[in-house]
Amino acid sequence: MVALVFHCARISLLLTRRSTLGLLAAAAVLPSSVRAHVAPPRDEIRESLAKRFTDLGTSGTFVGYKVEDYLIVASDKERSGEGKLPASTFKIPNALIALETGVVADPDKDMFPWDGVKRSIEAWNKDHTLRSAIAVSAVPAFQEIARRIGQERMQKYVDEFDYGNRDIGGGIDQFWLTGALRIDPVEQVDFVDRLRRRVLPISKRSQDLVADILPVTKVGDSIIRAKSGLLGAERGEPSLGWMVGWAEKGEAHTVFALNMDCKEPRLVGERMPLTQACLAEIGAI
């Protein structure tokens, strides 16, 4: 029980310090006497969400933040706080930094030529714009983007975003794939929610453009804006899968992060269906 209380308090503290309640984007600068009267989000651990992973024969975690209800729902109190390599979910901050630094001026016009190396994922073997690269999660294109951004600028923005453990050691074009960067699902929700609200410490234009190029899935009268991630995808050796983003149902918004072990090929394609099932269970779609 103590661990559960501590975990829920951590989620609430992390999200509240970003003004996730939406009361004021600048709540962090309010006097402490004022902040003391702002109620933190409610939180809940739901075992039925955890069962969805075991029913698939794997392990994983799901965290959802129902913005209008001030409610955080998680599948567990352990893995939801464990840092993992972000894999291609890092394409979200990578794209933001590319636009903010001018490495990409127009996500539909600036072209990143294919290097001619034939890779197992056919969609990567072509020239890409930022929009088309994020749609097919083209690792080589985003590696080139990271190289153009460079170590110093990349570190600056990863720090300013307070993204995971902020450690970009392991190579400028590898740190999110095989390097030192780690982020947990709660931190993913925090980061994505700041993008959704356009309160990251960069221009609104860059945030608008990245939100626009995120892949969209329609489910009934709801839409899901999300980025997948798969460790080992570029080597044909998948191990861990991600899905992060937010769902919109009318005026209601739910920010979410899911990760799961994908050591069997059959599990790779289960990331979005499982995400949708978790979102449906908590009434987000």
Catalytic residue among 88, 137, 206, 228: 88
CA pair distance 277, 284, nearest whole angstrom: 10
φ and ψ at residue 236, rounded to 5 degrees: 70, 25
Beta bridge partners of 128: 112
Active site residue 88: yes
Asked if 164 and 66 touch (Cβ cutoff 8 Å), the reply is: no
The alpha carbon of residue 87 and the mean position of all alpha carbons in its chain are separated, in whole angstroms, by 10
CB 74 within 8 A of CB 63: yes
| Beta carbons of 140 and 127 less than 8 angstroms apart | no
Find the angle CA(45)-CA(47)-CA(52) to the nearest 5 degrees.
125
Check if the beta carbon of residue 260 is closer than 8 Å to that of residue 59: yes
Q: Catalytic residues, which ones?
A: 88
